[in-house]
Amino acid sequence: MNKWMTRLLILIVLFNFLPPFAPAWGEKPSHLIVLLTDFGESDFYTGVMKGVIFSINPGAHVETITNLVEPFNVKEGAYILENTYPFYPRGTIFLAIVDPGVGSSRKPLLLETGDGKYLVGPDNGLFTRILGKAGLRKAYELTSPRYWRTKKPSSTFQGRDIFSPAAAHLSLGVPPAKMGKPMGAPLRLPFDVASLKDGKLNGEVTLIDYYGNLLTNIPGKLLRMGGFMEGNNYLLEAGGQKIKARLARTYSEVPEGEYLFLVNSEDLVEVARNKANAAKTLGIRAGAGLSIGRND
């Protein structure tokens, strides 16, 4: 056997013993992983997930959108993802976990979007809004234990044992097809479409922000089409309550504690109380219906 054959055999042996997370030749993996959860800030869960990621890929860059999604509120998580997703570059890996069905028959997903980004998380509708805009290129169920943290993942912490390892391996260039099997379209949740009927705006609360403001799915153009005028008071119905709210341009245009609604930076209708918590007072959470009409 000549020296070239010997070198070739050595290369073949070394290639076969490379760790499973070695990137494929010629690929340029993204090291940016963006995290969204409902885990809160006081516990250790997100810290553990980051530790798992760095153990697999010490060069990963992990950023956090928020860990303060309302517990179990998949619709709120979907809305936050929709509004942050466009601002991240191609190749970004979104590791998103709002997973009240953890350990159940719901599938663990890895999705490739139509604009070249990746989504890792549970198949419970969390990615509905993103897919509605970015489209879906390929979908995989994460079925390969080779890319899990353990062959027997926890039934209560799959963010640690399945999702974080998948995001880390993906950031190193492992093709999604190696981590799971192709699957059909993931679950999509029904979201209400805002409407204008008989002079009344009807929509849905999509997010409660830090201040207790109610962000809705009602576009500003619908407000304008309905002839709603700044400075006028209108009847707002939400959470089984009816209140008067002024259409304003800024929060400070009404006295402290009073209700208002305005068109926010996303050109969507937002309901608030000046220097007070509207959601807490009304008992509202994301997903609730809301209407605004004439104050007759």
Per residue in 133-143, pLDDT (tens digit) is 999 999 999 99
Establish if 3 belongs to a structural domain: no
Average pLDDT, the chain: 90
Same domain, 169 and 200: no
Q: Which of 141, 157, 182 represents a domain boundary (last residue)?
A: 182
Same domain, 70 and 178: yes
Q: Considering only 11-20, 146-155, 172-181, which range has the smallest mean pLDDT? A: 11-20
Higher pLDDT, 4 or 237: 237
Q: Which of 182, 211, 243 represents a domain boundary (last residue)?
A: 182
Beta carbons of 39 and 188 less than 8 angstroms apart: no
pLDDT class for 81, splitting at 50, 70, 90?
very high
pTM: predicted TM-score of the whole model, two decimal places: 0.80
Establish if 52 belongs to a structural domain: yes
Strands 108-113 and 61-66: unpaired
What distance in Å separates the CA atoms of residue 231 and residue 246, rounded to the nearest whole number?
A: 6
Same domain, 36 and 174: yes
Encoded amino acid at 252, one letter: S
Strands 289-294 and 268-273: unpaired
pLDDT class for 183, splitting at 50, 70, 90?
very high
What distance in Å separates the CA atoms of residue 196 and residue 295, rounded to the nearest whole number?
A: 16
For 46, phi then psi, to 5°, come to -70, -30
Domain count, the chain: 2
Same domain, 162 and 203: no
Same domain, 212 and 264: yes
Please name every residue paired with 111 in a beta bridge, in sequence order, or none if there are none: 119, 139
Same domain, 154 and 132: yes
Same domain, 172 and 252: no
Give the CATH number for residue 224: 2.40.30.90
Same domain, 141 and 212: no
Mean pLDDT, range 248-258, rounded to an integer: 95
The backbone region for 151, taken as left when phi is positive above 0, alpha when psi lies in -120 to 50, beta otherwise, is alpha
What distance in Å separates the CA atoms of residue 291 and residue 218, rounded to the nearest whole number?
A: 10
Q: Which of 182, 217, 236 represents a domain boundary (last residue)?
A: 182
Q: What is the helix (H) or strand (E) element at residue 178, kind and residue range?
A: helix 176-179
Residue in 83, 183, 167 with CA at minimum distance from that of residue 133: 83
Residue in 165, 151, 161 with CA at minimum distance from that of residue 57: 165
For 122-160, write each residue's pLDDT tens digit: 999 999 999 999 999 999 999 999 999 999 999 999 999
Beta carbons of 119 and 95 less than 8 angstroms apart: no
Give the CATH number for residue 109: 3.40.50.10790
Q: How distant is the alpha carbon of residue 259 from its chain centre?
A: 29
Same domain, 115 and 243: no
Q: Give the domain range for residue 277.
A: 195-294
What distance in Å separates the CA atoms of residue 162 and residue 110, rounded to the nearest whole number?
A: 11
